[in-house]
Amino acid sequence: MKLCELKRSAWLKSKSNRVGRWNWSKWTYSGRWQKWQKARSWHSSKPFFEWGQTSIVQRMPKARWFKRHYKLVDNYSIVNLSNLQKDERITNDMEITKFKLKELGYIKKESDLVKVLWNWDFSKKLTFTWLEKYSKSALNKIEKSWAKIN
């Protein structure tokens, strides 16, 4: 076989486009833009990113029935009987209300829901009025100390 007898292969007859070698051949960019951020190899946009425009997810109105979970749960301010026992401002036969607890600094607002808990000793004779919840151990201690719940 001589060099002059060699023939080109059938698939080599047409000149191929050199894609991806910048823009020297036929202005092709390998499916990318020319010079912007999206043309760079490191670029990948996050889902729902709209180039500075507020995303469609944030623009869409929320469903009417949707409520946030923290609005569905009641938040109670906690008052410990042991703290009331240690407090010298609270005396025997005193009436404990939300107003009194706010005045003494145990709760922030009178509109707060209050739950009474017990963790150590309690022996004062107090009257509890207009408080929402009591733990079982707190109820037992209140009954043993001859305190009242109205």
pLDDT of residue 26: 56
Does residue 92 sit in the same domain as residue 56? no
Residue 114 neighbours by CB distance under 10 Å:
22
Domain assignment present for residue 118? The answer is: yes
Does residue 51 sit in the same domain as residue 76? no
Looking at the structure of the chain, the number of domains it has is 2
Does residue 100 sit in the same domain as residue 138? yes
Q: Token match 């009954």: residue?
A: 143
Domain assignment present for residue 5? The answer is: no
Domain range for 114 is 71-149
pLDDT of residue 53: 87
Residue pLDDT, tens place only, 54-99: 887 777 777 777 666 776 778 899 999 999 999 999 998 999 999 9
Q: Does position 20 have pLDDT exceeding 70, yes or no?
A: no
pLDDT of residue 44: 75
Query: Do residues 123 and 142 touch, judged by C-beta distance below 8 A?
Result: no
pLDDT of residue 81: 92
Does residue 134 sit in the same domain as residue 94? yes
**Overall average pLDDT of the 99-105 stretch:** 95
Domain assignment present for residue 11? The answer is: no
Q: Does position 114 have pLDDT exceeding 90, yes or no?
A: yes
pTM, rounded to two decimals: 0.53
Report the candidate in 81, 89, 111 with the shortest Cα–Cα distance to residue 99. 111
- Looking up residue 112, the CATH number of its domain turns out to be 3.100.10.10
